[in-house]
Amino acid sequence: MSKNKANAEKLAKIPKRPPLLRFTVVDLSGLTVFHRSFVSEVLDEVLFSGFSAAMIAFSRELGSDLHSIRMEGVNYFFQTRGDFIFVVGMYPRVHSNSAKRFLRLINNLIAWDELEGYLNKAIYFQTENFQDEAEQLILEFQIKFKHLIHT
């Protein structure tokens, strides 16, 4: 089966109103290194990545960590590790524990030792291996939690 056909079949399984709306990996400078959206984008991912990095920097300046914010009916959950910020946007009906679980699973997916070997660490998130595994994880999450969203 061709890769395009396999990807089309995977995407067809995602509910029309998915619980996970978007997932973005941002480096601390505000550069988007990975982004997937499952809704019509009204959000500029470059602007959002810069905003996310600025919010993380601001919260650190205040001596705390930013864990979540709510904007336009979407809950955004943040997790930082190393030089990266992981941001997941979900419908409010998806509990924060589910978002934290998703972020933990993504974090476990990353081969952090391998990542350290990259001169430009952001390139790691462009590898076929990471993208395929991340998309599979996202698909499984979408299917598992689709019951939370009314269509």
CATH number of the domain encompassing residue 22: 3.30.450.70
Which among 7, 30, 49 has a CA at the least distance from the CA of 138?
Answer: 7
Do the domain assignments include residue 7? Answer: no
pLDDT by residue (tens digit) across 90-112? 988 788 888 899 999 999 999 99
Do the domain assignments include residue 86? Answer: yes
Q: Judge whether residue 132 has pLDDT over 80.
A: yes
pLDDT by residue (tens digit) across 65-94? 899 999 888 899 999 998 999 999 998 878
Residue 33: what pLDDT?
94
Do the domain assignments include residue 12? Answer: no
Do the domain assignments include residue 104? Answer: yes
Domain count, the chain: 1
Do the domain assignments include residue 5? Answer: no
Which parts of the chain fold into alpha helices (H)? 3-13, 45-61, 96-109, 112-116, 128-144
How far apart (Å, rounded) are the C-alpha atoms in residues 57 and 66?
9
Do the domain assignments include residue 134? Answer: yes
What does the mean pLDDT of the chain come to? 85
Domain span holding position 47: 17-148
Chain CA centroid to CA 84, Å? 11
> What length does the chain have?
151
Do the domain assignments include residue 101? Answer: yes
Would you call 79 helix, strand, or coil by DSSP?
A: strand
Residue 17: what pLDDT?
63
- Please name the amino acid found at residue 22: R
Give pairs for 122-126: CB < 8 Å, separation 24+.
122/27, 122/31, 122/33, 125/25, 125/33, 125/34, 126/33, 126/34
Chain CA centroid to CA 103, Å? 8
